[in-house]
């Protein structure tokens, strides 16, 4: 797998925004434990060699990287991937895997032994640029955007890279370094959108406007931020963003408001969130927190859908093509059979609540009063609503919460069965 860089974009030094009107929002707090969801799903555990340090998936491929090797995860359990290639300096092993992310048709693997790529079946040393190979990558996530070239559709992968000496963004063959004035150390988490970078330095969070390189501090302390994730693969404007914090789950809504869910009753200790994984097909976001695998919902407490295996070090998580969740902790991985078809309650209602209820629930801004969070109402309105959202007239132009294309696709896919 070849990664080419047209040239490094140098360093974008983001200046802290002005105090007062230029500063970011404060945070609302919603207490309460995750909602328990019925019976415990079936699960199966498999041993791996080395501690499960990273996980990722891309289509039918899901893998775990440990402190010693990379395993492809399938119906029969983990399969250790051999390193193949023709070069004279072929690595004997990956060493400790530090990070994994989807890239093109497979997975990019950053490890102690170098940069690797797998499309399944084996690992190959990545033929990346010297600039990329020289980085010590500690975390990365991918934003996959569908583009149309002529009559063909293709995808572009944009990588956000956390390294030991700063934050990088690899996009369309160019790599840009992002820094915040006054922050000398390496970030603990990063997410890159088309127009915005979100960087965390321990408990300090900044939103960077890519057009102006202005960094706006977000005015809250939610503990150490471990990871940042989006609720859609393209993470376009209008998507929700989530931060894994020592103090719980932090949600950034499309209008820029932040909410902290401590995942505990008021007065009780908060439950730390350790990692995220996105079901790219159904656009479902999952998290690992305390004793549970969580299904994240827009504007609401998450659901506890399965019991997670405890571990001494941070655990990882990934989702396979069937929608089942794999969690890695200690010297084992566990498959949780939670995959389920799209439904109104689990997939459509959260979209309607986040993007439509703001006006239609009480008839504000001239919108007709319609309870789109009601299944019966949605059944009657589905045909007209789908026409309007696909045409881009709902939500109307100028509304602060743009409905992402991937959310529209969820509505279209659900309309085939209209499951409750």
- For the chain, 420 residues long, the average pLDDT of each consecutive 10-residue run is 40 50 70 90 94 94 96 93 88 95 93 93 82 88 80 81 95 90 94 96 95 92 94 92 97 94 97 96 94 95 94 91 93 93 88 86 82 90 89 82 84 89
pLDDT of residue 195: 94
Q: Based on the number of CB atoms within 10 Å of its own CB, is 418 exposed (0-12), middle (13-18) or buried (19 or more)?
A: middle
pLDDT of residue 128: 67
Q: How far apart are CA 381 and CA 342, in angstroms?
A: 18
DSSP assignment of 171-210, as one string? ETTEEEEEEETT--S--SEEEE-SSEEEEEETTEEEEEET
Non-local (6+) Cβ contacts of 369 within 8 A are 360, 361, 362, 363
291-307 burial: b if 16+ Cβ within 10 Å, else e: ebbbbbbbebbbbbbbe
3-state helix, strand, coil in the chain (%, to 5): 15, 45, 45
264-276 burial: b if 16+ Cβ within 10 Å, else e: beeeeebbbbbbb
Q: How far apart are CA 160 and CA 142, in angstroms?
A: 6
Non-local (6+) Cβ contacts of 236 within 8 A are 145, 193, 194, 402, 404, 405, 406
Give the chain's length: 420
For residue 22, give Cα distances in angstroms to 25, 70, 192, 322. Answer: 9, 45, 20, 44
pLDDT of residue 354: 86
CB of 249 closer than 8 Å to CB of 259: no
Beta strands in 21-136, from DSSP E residues, in sequence order: 27-29, 35-36, 43-47, 52-58, 61-66, 70-74, 77-80, 97-103, 106-111, 114-118, 124-125
Of 52, 21, 46, nearest in space to 329 by CA: 52
Q: Based on the number of CB atoms within 10 Å of its own CB, is 250 exposed (0-12), middle (13-18) or buried (19 or more)?
A: buried
Q: Based on the number of CB atoms within 10 Å of its own CB, is 16 exposed (0-12), middle (13-18) or buried (19 or more)?
A: middle
Q: What is the DSSP letter of 54?
A: E
Does residue 295 have a cis bond before it (omega within 30 degrees)?
no
Of 177, 296, 178, nearest in space to 230 by CA: 296
Give, to the nearest 10 degrees, the angle between helix 405-417 and helix 375-391. Answer: 130
Helices (H), 246-403: 349-355, 357-360, 375-391
Helices (H), 246-364: 349-355, 357-360
């Amino acid at each position: 797998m070849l990664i080419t860089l047209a040239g490094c974009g140098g360093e974008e030094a983001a200046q802290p925004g002005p105090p007062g009107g230029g500063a970011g929002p404060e945070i609302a707090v919603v207490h309460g434990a995750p909602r328990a969801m019925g019976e415990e799903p079936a699960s199966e555990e498999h041993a791996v060699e080395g501690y499960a340090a990273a996980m990722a998936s891309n289509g039918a491929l899901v893998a775990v990287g440990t402190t010693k090797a990379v395993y492809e995860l399938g119906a029969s359990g983990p399969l250790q991937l051999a390193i193949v290639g023709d070069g004279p300096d072929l690595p004997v092993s990956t060493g400790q895997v530090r990070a994994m992310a989807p890239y093109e048709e497979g997975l990019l693997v950053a490890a102690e032994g170098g940069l690797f790529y797998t499309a399944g079946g084996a690992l190959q040393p990545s033929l990346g640029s010297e600039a990329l190979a020289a980085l010590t990558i500690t975390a990365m996530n991918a934003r996959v955007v569908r583009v149309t070239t002529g009559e063909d559709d293709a995808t572009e992968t944009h990588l956000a890279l956390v390294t030991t000496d700063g934050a990088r963004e690899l996009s369309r063959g160019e790599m840009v370094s992002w820094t915040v004035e006054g922050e000398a150390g390496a970030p603990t988490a990063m997410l890159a959108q088309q127009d915005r970078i979100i960087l965390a330095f321990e408990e300090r969070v900044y939103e960077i406007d890519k057009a102006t390189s202005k960094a706006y501090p977000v005015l809250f302390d939610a503990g150490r931020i471990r990871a940042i994730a989006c609720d859609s693969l393209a993470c376009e404007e209008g998507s929700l963003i989530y931060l894994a914090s020592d103090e719980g789950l932090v949600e950034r809504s499309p209008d820029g408001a932040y909410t902290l869910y401590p995942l505990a009753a008021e007065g009780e200790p908060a439950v730390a969130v350790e990692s995220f994984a996105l079901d790219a097909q159904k656009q479902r976001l999952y998290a690992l927190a305390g004793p549970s695998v969580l299904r994240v919902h827009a504007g609401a407490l998450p659901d506890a859908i399965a019991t997670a295996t405890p571990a001494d070090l941070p655990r990882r998580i990934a989702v396979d093509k069937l929608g089942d969740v794999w969690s890695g902790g200690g010297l084992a991985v566990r498959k949780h059979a939670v995959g389920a078809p799209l439904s109104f309650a689990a997939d459509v209602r959260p979209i309607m609540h986040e993007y439509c209820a703001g006006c239609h629930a009480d008839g504000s801004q001239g919108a007709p009063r319609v309870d789109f969070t009601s299944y019966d109402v949605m059944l009657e309105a589905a045909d007209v609503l789908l026409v309007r959202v696909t045409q881009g007239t709902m939500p109307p132009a100028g509304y602060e919460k743009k409905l992402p294309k991937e959310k529209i696709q969820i509505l279209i896919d659900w309309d085939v069965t209209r499951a409750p």
